Structure 1
């Protein structure tokens, strides 16, 4: 499978893994939800996990890949404040955890660029719905 076909599937796998983690171990995600958001942190944790799972599914389907990849790039930009909040809130954590929190921040840029690249390489519109070997529908008379 060429790299251009693997890339969206790898990104989908990353998002699916993160989405499942939001449900499997929500406490770690609750801790990084910005306090300025209304509602409970757990609701935001579950919502972001559900969004990640939906984005993963959309990236896996060629027909929805372009729009979903654009939405994925926007999602990565949108969750950046939570990553900043985590880095600031973890000032009292052990040095390796603080370092990891700050090291995450510059990783958002490659994720955004990856999603944008997937969008650029995705087909512009829905693929032809006629199956190979079947006759094309007749065009209406002019």
Structure 2
């Protein structure tokens, strides 16, 4: 297993932990049309941690990678919402928000390399 995979795992475990310890920060960026923001934040945090850990084991690596790809696709609406909604954008500059959106494609490509 390459060190790049450990970094990918670390990123998702860390992101998941932050979903659990700072849920309000993530609730602020969720589109209003999604129900149960707090529950979705907690579930996505748990899913990110599980996928991050799952990457590390041969038996679960493929499903963990596919889970990461699916999550990244599902998170696109959040990044678009941040881009078009000033409050959800957390006062970040538009170029930073655009970069975050483009970064999703890079992360998907990165994860896909390990299938």
Normalised to the residue count of structure 2, the TM-score between the two structures is 0.88
Based on CA coordinates, which of the two structures has the bigger radius of gyration? 1
Name the residue aligned to 2:30: 33
Aligned residues: 113
8 A contact 1:87–1:98 mirrored in 2: no
2:62 matches 1:66: yes
Could you tell me how far apart the structure 1 residues matched to 2:73 and 2:114 are?
16
Q: Deviations over 1:71-125 (max 9, x none)?
A: 211111111111111121126864xx13322221100001000111011xxxxxx
Structure 2: any 5+ residue segments left out of the alignment?
none
The Cα RMSD (Å) is 1.7
Describe the SS at the equivalent of 2:98.
helix
| Partners of 2:12 and 2:75 in 1: CA distance | 13
Normalised by the length of structure 1, the TM-score is: 0.72
